[in-house]
Amino acid sequence: MKRKYADRKDWRRVLERDFICRSLRSEEFNGRVTLISIRRIREPLVVQMQNRDLCLADHGYVWMQHFPEREHYAVTTMFNAEREVIQWYVDITKQNGLSGEGIPYWDDLYLDLVVFPDGSYVIKDEDELSEALRSSDITEEDYRLAYQALNELLPQIVTGTHWIWNHSKKHLDWMLERNEPSGADSKGGDYA
């Protein structure tokens, strides 16, 4: 199992960016929200999804990540330069936490869910989850937790009732209006 950090300092493709992190408490969401605004990139990140090329990161793109309290997932909403949602990428997690430096992290349980604005979705990396169990990188309990978290999310995704459908743009606007970075990797304060 790999621990991943919201600031993505190891993301070599991105040459210049702003990073902010805030706490959000609202009716629909309680937890941490981070924002990476891509200022300069070595080359666009283009992946093949649903038989088409999909650009996920380029100059002017924004990645907003939500780390809900007491949940076993983290959601990355990828926006293009026009602030349109490209996709939501849901990492199933063993836990979400906060580093000593105040950077949110997630312990990745391999299983992922990609949701598109039209409501379609793709479950990814079931083979990686199974391999992690076979190689003892995760326990049987972790394996069951991953599928339990996925199975709790899927009905909300299918019916369009999960908070990501109606609140991602609102949360982005909130993060951007409060975004006054002082440098290429600034960290903002909390907002309750």
pLDDT in tens, the chain (192 residues): 899 999 999 899 999 999 999 999 988 899 999 999 999 999 999 999 878 899 999 999 999 999 999 999 999 999 999 999 999 999 999 999 999 999 999 999 999 999 999 989 999 999 999 999 999 999 999 999 999 999 999 999 999 888 888 899 999 999 988 655 433 344 433 333
In the prediction, which pLDDT does 42 show? Answer: 95
Whether 49 is covered by a domain: the verdict is: yes
Q: Hey, what are 10's tokens?
A: 């190891």
Whether 188 is covered by a domain: the verdict is: no
DSSP reduced 3-state for 25? strand
DSSP reduced 3-state for 108? strand
Whether 186 is covered by a domain: the verdict is: no
* CA 3 – CA 109 distance, rounded (Å): 10
In the prediction, which pLDDT does 185 show? Answer: 40
Whether 52 is covered by a domain: the verdict is: yes
Whether 183 is covered by a domain: the verdict is: no
Q: What share of the chain is helix, strand, coil (3-state, %, to 5)?
A: 25, 45, 35
Name the domain count of the chain.
1
In the prediction, which pLDDT does 164 show? Answer: 83
In the prediction, which pLDDT does 179 show? Answer: 58
Whether 20 is covered by a domain: the verdict is: yes
Residues 65, 89 contacting (CB under 8 angstroms)? no
Whether 191 is covered by a domain: the verdict is: no
CATH number for position 123: 2.40.380
Q: Hey, what are 3's tokens?
A: 């621990």
Backbone Cα Rg of the chain? 16
pTM of the model: 0.89
DSSP code, position 60: T
In the prediction, which pLDDT does 163 show? Answer: 87
Range of the domain at 96: 2-176
Q: What is the rounded end-to-end Cα distance, in angstroms, of the chain?
A: 32
